[in-house]
Amino acid sequence: MTGWLNINELEGINWLDKDTTRLYLVYNEKKIGVKFKRPRVKIKVMGAELTPHYRISVKVPVTIQENLKEISQTEIKHIVAAQVQKQIKRTFQKGLDLHTDVLNLSEKAYRFDRYHWTIQELNELTSDSIDSIKVKVTLVNTSAYK
């Protein structure tokens, strides 16, 4: 083991965990609070390169818990999508700093086509290994605006 990450640096793992049932996000700048119920993720492995590349898509059902400044639902969707992307990228980058596949992406590539890459190529993650992170936010409920 080459180091450790604290709980704040590991926030991005929650979006890729199939067992996640509820998550909460509080965005203090805009005074909003949202609850996520069962986010779903798909990781697509792109196999044309010397090393695998990944496209991550996350579907996030959202319930607005708090909206003190009465921000539009469209803006809330953009804020949530940006925060989810930021958390995933940050966790991935912190893992790269420790030379670790924190998001377990190489396992997807190994299952995708284990004979296409060597183990060394699978473990060669760079900041360019993730081609894109797409977040689709769906408003399920707006339980309490204030």
In terms of Cα–Cα distance, which of 77, 78, 101, 76 is closest to 16?
101
What confidence score (pLDDT) does residue 146 get?
52
Give 24's pLDDT tier (boundaries 50, 70, 90). Answer: confident
Q: What are the residue ranges of helices labelled H in the chain?
A: 13-16, 73-97, 105-112, 119-122
Strands 130-142 and 53-67: parallel
- Residues 137 and 17: their CA atoms lie apart, in Å, by 17
What's the pLDDT tens digit per position in 70-94? 888 899 999 999 999 999 999 999 9
What confidence score (pLDDT) does residue 70 get?
85
What confidence score (pLDDT) does residue 57 get?
96
What confidence score (pLDDT) does residue 2 get?
65
Are 60 and 42 in contact, with CB atoms under 8 Å apart?
A: no
Amino acid at 98: L
Are 34 and 25 in contact, with CB atoms under 8 Å apart?
A: yes
What lies within 8 Å, CB to CB, of 3 at 6+ separation is 97, 98
* E strand residue ranges, the chain: 22-27, 32-37, 40-46, 53-67, 130-142
Handedness of CA 95, 100, 105, 109 (dihedral sign): positive
At residue 35, φ and ψ (nearest 5 deg) are -120, 140
What's the pLDDT tens digit per position in 99-140? 889 999 988 888 877 788 888 888 888 899 999 999 999 998
What confidence score (pLDDT) does residue 109 get?
85
Average pLDDT, the chain: 87
Average pLDDT over residues 2-25: 85
What confidence score (pLDDT) does residue 22 get?
85
